[in-house]
Chains A and B, each alone.
Chain A
Amino acid sequence: MSAEAHAAGHAAGHHEEGWFHKYFWSTDHKMIGMQYLFTGMAMALIGGFTVYVFRMQLAFPGVSVPGFGRVTASDYNALVTTHGSVMIFWVAMPVLIAALGNFLIPLMIGCDDMVFPRLNRLSYQLFLLSALILIGSFFVQGGAFGGAWTAYPPLSAKGVYNLTPQGASLWLVAVALEFVAFLLGGINFVTTVMNSRAPGMKMFDVPIVVWMIVVASIVFMASVGPLVAGAVMLLFDQNFGTGFYDPAKGGDPVLWQHLFWFFGHPEVYVVLLPAVGIVAEVITVFSRKKLFGYKTVLYTAIGTGVLSFFVWAHHQFIAGIDPRMANIFSVTTLLISIPVAEMMFVYIATLYGGSIRLKVPMLWSLAFIGEFLVGGVTGIFLGASGSDIYFHDTYFVLAHFHYTFFPIAFIAVFSAVTYWFPKMFGRMMNETFGKIHFWGTIIPFNFIFIPLFILGVRGDHRRIYDYTNFPDLMKPGMQDLRVLATVSLVTLLAFQFIFLANFFYSLVKGPKASANPWQANTLEWVAASPPPHGNFPEGLPTVYRGPYEYNHPDRPQEDYWPQNVAS
């Protein structure tokens, strides 16, 4: 199974027809999971390129960016829109939910595939189509959509404002298709976990990451509906002259904001929960210790999911919403920090007294806890409507959500990829290069966003392509901070090539992996590395205990106790 051959999903089909057909039409969950992974990685290249270009513009305004050229104001808008949209919808979601969910769920619950393999296939194909439509939007007249990933009307509804009317509609169609793909996929995941668990695997024996993906899928399913409705209305406004969001025709632009954020806020928890789940798996294995509070983490995750539906308008504090609503949403927003902090405390308690193995996956998970914490506490300033009046739309917001999103979409993902790589591809990644990549990512990451916090406090507004036009924002030191952030970004991006090299080299030349190189308990490590079609040819496993029985007193011979071992 030469996985690298179908990188990006649109590789030139330069082998015989049968092989291509076999990969493209596979219904095997592992293959589909890897297709999502590779597509997500390819889209991450686009996301990374866009940020490189626009940060170069911000640091060196007016200077032609190597690999792109001069960045006009319109270019800038399209770049930031593309960066945001791609990273959330075509990198974070496919990798965290679709790739990991697809690959891991049947293995971790001990069955041979998802309950609806052909629906799974369709989900990926719709997703791929959405990615292709988005990429297609870069090449139409006017170029990619430039109305920000939040697409507020009237900017997003009227081509005369956003200057990218075709790109705007294509973007909307791509996003809508992506939603449909994930709705279908989510139903597959939830139904599979509910029904197809191994004999003996009760609800509380399911690994946390599987629970998290299920809860995330449900939260997604429950929140995306109104936005699907809203997107249809926006599409009609863009193309058929309706006025759903046009006050002159009897509509209301604030409606879009509400519909968008009613989804948009739960969405961040949709991506957070799987990341938190990954960390739970990794820290238990690499501290050889039981998860401190399985039920606590589970109920907290469900509580977070529920509460996430009641906080959305904190994105709209200064949009003119009713101030009494703002009060309510402030309270709920501050409340939601509690369950998430609780989960972090449980993780720290899990680590305490553990026999820590500082392998690369563990480094990433530890980094997640630390970096996400910064993101979380800075959210408090934004959740309180009073302070948000100052901070809204400044770089403070941006730095806050990158301190949450980057750990979610990259740190946790690197932890997951380095941890499950042996299972997926049957080989081990190189530890040394993994550590170099780790430090080369974490250190620059902080040097990108701490300056941005400072700039935000000093008044830097978002979505401005050239600060030299604003004398108040060109006070001494401020441009230096922008340059520092950009230089750090370029450094961070450069280190990603080490990961890519490690990844692809190990794919073909890495040392062969055994079934359970990390000595973990969960069922995916029972299967071969990589698992064959059907996953468990010797027979589907039966489960006798929970997933985190490490260093159990009843088992002195080893410090782990796989779920399927009778006793």
Chain B
Amino acid sequence: MATRPIATTRSATGIPTGRLAVWWVIASEIVIFGGVLGSYLMHRLGHPEWEHQSVHTNTWIGAFNTLVLLTSSLCAVLAHNAAELKNGKKAANFLLLTCVGGLTFLTVKGFEWTHEIQSGFTMQSNMFWSFYYTAAGLHGLHVLAGVIIMLIVAADARKNQELQRVENIGIYWHFVDIVWVFLFPLLYIAK
């Protein structure tokens, strides 16, 4: 496997390469989620009768999951804080806590969906639910991907290696959190 090329260490913009790349990733993800959420929004506004469906989403579970993700974002930024102070072990631990948050989110969602499906609210039962599962599912995939990458970054950070990646994966994680911050009212509150 190639050792890090000189190219990676240069920084004509002043922004470290890894962080620059993460911002570009976020930019492309904004339009992906924008596409899903925009499509949902247009349909929802045109179909007022969907409120008979959306009333069945569980606001408390949604709120709990929001709390979980917000807390995990706190852990992610505390991990970054620790990395800046060159405390790799602390950073790794905070990252693990973030992962715990992410996995909790996914587990709660698993139970939530199971209950909803068993109540007959499947992806095919109504367009609202089609969007619900697709949008939240796409988000959930990003949560899972984030957890996996975070575990890898944490493993390196624990050895005080590649500490700059703690901030980078944190930025990604905060973005995933922000997407949920908008999904939550869309699917659970202003139904």
Contacts and interface: CB of A to CB of B under 8 A. Distances in A.
Contact of A240 (B2, B13, B47, B124): B124
B35 A195 contact: no
A187 B19 CA distance: 12
B127 A249 contact: yes
A381 interface: no
A227 interface: yes
Contact of B31 (A28, A187, A226): A226
A321 to B, nearest CB: 14
B190 interface: no
B13 A115 contact: no
Contact of B35 (A112, A116, A229): A229
Interface residues on B, range: 35 or more
B35 A226 contact: yes
A187 B28 contact: yes
Nearest to A217: B24
B39 A236 contact: no
A111 interface: yes
A225 B31 contact: yes
Given A195-B12, A195-B15, A230-B35, A251 B127 contact: yes
B126 interface: yes
Contacts of A244: 39, 127, 130-131
A196 B21 contact: no
Interface string A90-122: 000000000000000010000111111110000
B30 interface: yes
B63 to A, nearest CB: 26
Nearest to A259: B35
Given A118-B1, A187-B25, A194-B13, A111 B6 contact: yes
A225 B34 contact: yes
A232 interface: yes
B11 A195 contact: yes
Contacts of A230: 35, 39
A255 interface: yes
A13 to B, nearest CB: 21
Contact of B32 (A106, A228, A233, A240): A228
A111 B10 contact: yes
A195 B29 CA distance: 22
A257 B13 CA distance: 39
A116 B30 CA distance: 22
A113 B5 contact: yes
Quick one: which of B7, B13, B20, B124 has the most chain A CB within 10 A? B7
Interface string A502-546: 000000000000000000000000000000001000001000000
Contacts of B42: 255
B7 A106 contact: yes
Nearest to B38: A226
Given A191-B21, A194-B13, A227 B126 contact: no
B2 A117 contact: yes
Given A196-B10, A236-B134, A229 B36 contact: yes
Given A115-B21, A223-B31, A241-B124, A232 B138 contact: yes
Contacts of B1: 27, 118
B32 A225 contact: yes
A118 B7 contact: no
A222 B28 contact: yes
A242 B123 contact: yes
A465 B125 CA distance: 39
Interface in A178-192: 183, 186-188, 190-192
Nearest to A111: B7
A194 B7 contact: no
Nearest to B8: A115
B174 to A, nearest CB: 18
B8 A187 contact: no
A243 B126 CA distance: 8
Nearest to B126: A250
A534 B11 CA distance: 18
B17 interface: yes
A183 B28 contact: yes
Contacts of A195: 7, 10-13, 15, 17, 20
B116 to A, nearest CB: 15
A226 to B, nearest CB: 3
B24 A191 contact: yes
Nearest to A240: B123
A177 to B, nearest CB: 15
Contacts of B24: 186-187, 190-191, 221
Given A117-B2, A233-B39, A222 B31 contact: yes
A289 interface: no
Nearest to A201: B12
A123 to B, nearest CB: 13
Given A27-B2, A115-B8, A195-B15, 4 more contacts: A106-B7, A113-B7, A225-B35, A250-B47
28 contacts: A27-B1, A111-B10, A114-B5, A186-B24, A187-B28, A188-B21, A191-B21, A191-B24, A195-B11, A195-B17, A196-B6, A196-B17, A222-B31, A224-B31, A227-B35, A229-B36, A229-B39, A232-B134, A233-B134, A236-B123, A236-B130, A241-B123, A242-B124, A242-B134, A243-B130, A250-B43, A251-B127, A259-B39
Interface of A: 27-28, 106, 111-118, 183, 186-188, 190-192, 194-197, 221-230, 232-233, 236, 240-244, 249-252, 255, 259, 534, 540
